[in-house]
């Protein structure tokens, strides 16, 4: 079995999500991220 990929806080991060969006959708996403106070 391969070595598990964990971050600096020892949390498993095995899922990668990538997708395309329009510039308008990207602006909306960035605005919502800013309002939430979380990292993108």
What CA–CA distance (Å, rounded) separates 14 from 12?
A: 6
pLDDT at 1: 61
Q: How far apart, in whole angstroms, are the C-alpha atoms of residue 38 and residue 26?
A: 16
pLDDT of residue 12: 83
Over the stretch 8-35, which tens digit does the pLDDT of each residue have?
888 887 778 899 999 999 999 999 999 9
Task: List b or e across 1-12, with b for residues whose CB sees 16 or more CB atoms inside 10 angstroms.
Answer: eeeeeeeeeeee
DSSP H helix total and E strand total for the chain: 1, 0
Q: What is the CA radius of gyration of the chain?
A: 15
């Amino acid at each position: 079995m391969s070595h598990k990929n964990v971050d600096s806080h020892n949390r498993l991060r095995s899922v990668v999500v990538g997708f395309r969006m329009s510039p308008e959708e990207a602006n909306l996403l960035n605005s919502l991220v800013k309002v939430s106070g979380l990292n993108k």
